[in-house]
Amino acid sequence: MITETKQIATETKQLEISKKKEFIFEINAALMRKVVNSLTCFQDECIFSITADGIFFLQVCPAHVSMVKMLLSKQDMIRYPYENDMEFGVDLESLSKFLSKSMYSNEQVLVMFFEENKTHLNQGDYRETSSTLKIEDFNRPKFPTIHKNGEFDIFPLREFIYGVEFTSEISDHTVLKLMKDTRHLFLISEWEDVRRHFDVSGNMVGSVVCEGNPKRPDHVRTIIPSEYLLYLFKNLPSEENAKIFIDNDYPIRIEQNFGKASTVTYLCAPRIESED
């Protein structure tokens, strides 16, 4: 009887250990630094959602004008021993400061170990332990479904950025206008008697889709706040290509791949106007 009781107690303890909410992964520190930089422009805190495909992130800016959705693929991890889905709240500001200091380490591998109440960081001689944030305190934004009557690839993205910078100098908003027949993309801004016009069509590669609609049958058009758009661009690799989706009075959607299989998608809400 005593033996059976000990056996039951041992099995119960093993079951409790197996149910512990903890996860450890290893990643190149430079890659993690890029990920954190892309997320901190939205909020200082974030949920790390551990999934079978990798770590999923979803952030929205305080003004609810822009969003980011990112998958840090398991293929871009050095070690990713996934067993089941978990979520951990992370202080991005603290993580960013650690990565800024540890970039001087000879060790290039970052080890992140999550416990239910603690987050442990280890990169060579640099180590830090902080509290894991309560996920109950986080808002849960929904990533909207975006109409895609206009879509195109830009290579490199910096040419598109140049156009937004050029048009934003005289206006707070930039008009994106994709023509159906000519497949030309124009960035336009106006202020009083000044009108700026930037044609980025020469950098459009791959397929270009422009369906138009009854409201504007010959083109797709949206108006985006330049400041927020440029803020997003600060965190995108300008030398890489990007896929961009636009539709009349819908958010602009910018997609990029990075690493081996990771993806990031940015949204920026438009200014709604009923007339051209």
Q: pLDDT digits over 36-45, tens only?
A: 988 988 889 9
Please write the tens of the pLDDT for every residue from 254-270.
Answer: 999 999 999 999 999 88
pLDDT value of position 218 = 85
3-state secondary structure of 110: strand
Domains of the chain: 20-137 (3.70.10.10), 150-268 (3.70.10.10)
Lowest-pLDDT choice from 36-50, 127-141, 174-188: 174-188
pLDDT value of position 230 = 87
Distance in angstroms (rounded) separating the CA atoms of residues 113 and 132: 11
pLDDT value of position 13 = 45
pTM for the predicted model, two decimal places: 0.84
Mode of pairing for the β-strands spanning 219-225 and 242-246: unpaired
Distance in angstroms (rounded) separating the CA atoms of residues 130 and 118: 6
Lowest-pLDDT choice from 6-10, 87-91, 224-228: 6-10
pLDDT value of position 12 = 45
